[in-house]
């Protein structure tokens, strides 16, 4: 006999140097941090300890955002809209929530990161990314 069940195993792991810097900058400075690979000449979002393309370590931290561009999205029933967003200054996209109202999202529309008032050094210190209206709001 085979029983099919899901096992929930809570765990904690170190965010690492780059991940910690990213989270601290969210919490303390409301700032998105990326990593610049001088070999590939690409800026990765969010910050990483090494370049996934060439393996280089010792990347330089750079500020990215707060503006961003919508790359792609999906609607998750009862959860909201999740999007791949490319922060300004970055060459890669990161996953987060797209804040509404959302009538007709299109790739390339302008977004702005929205931080929570209370932050704790967690990816959810970012509330999400809001669509920037044409009049700049
Ligand atoms: Zn690289």
* Order of strands, sheet of 42-44, starting from the edge strand that comes earlier in the sequence: 42-44, 32-37, 60-64
Mean pLDDT confidence for 71-99: 96
109-135, pLDDT tens digit by residue?
A: 999 999 999 999 999 999 999 999 876
Residue 6 lies in a domain: no
Residue 9 lies in a domain: no
Are the CB atoms for 47 and 34 separated by under 8 Å? Answer: yes
Among 20, 22, 16, CA closest to 35:
22
Residue 8 lies in a domain: no
Residue 136 lies in a domain: no
- Cα 41 to ligand 1 centre (Å): 7
- Cα 115 to ligand 1 centre (Å): 29
Residue 10 lies in a domain: no
pTM to 2 decimal places: 0.88
**Domains of the chain: total:** 1
- Cα 58 to ligand 1 centre (Å): 10
Q: What is the pLDDT of residue 112?
A: 97
Are the CB atoms for 49 and 17 separated by under 8 Å? Answer: yes
Residue 52 lies in a domain: yes
Residue 1 lies in a domain: no
Residue 104 lies in a domain: yes
Q: What is the pLDDT of residue 51?
A: 97
């Amino acid at each position: 006999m085979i029983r099919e069940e899901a096992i929930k195993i809570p765990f904690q792991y170190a965010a690492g140097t780059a991940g910690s810097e990213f989270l601290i900058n969210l919490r303390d400075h409301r700032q998105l941090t990326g990593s610049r690979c001088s070999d590939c000449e690409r800026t990765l979002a969010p910050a990483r300890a090494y370049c996934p393309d060439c393996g280089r370590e010792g990347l330089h931290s750079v500020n990215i955002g707060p503006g961003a561009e919508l790359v792609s999205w999906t609607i998750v029933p009862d959860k909201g809209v999740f999007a791949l967003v490319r922060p300004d200054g970055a060459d890669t996209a990161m996953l987060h929530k797209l804040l509404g109202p959302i009538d007709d999202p299109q790739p390339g529309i302008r977004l702005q990161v929205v931080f929570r008032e209370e932050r704790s050094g967690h990816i959810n210190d970012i509330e999400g990314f809001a669509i920037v209206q044409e009049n700049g709001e």
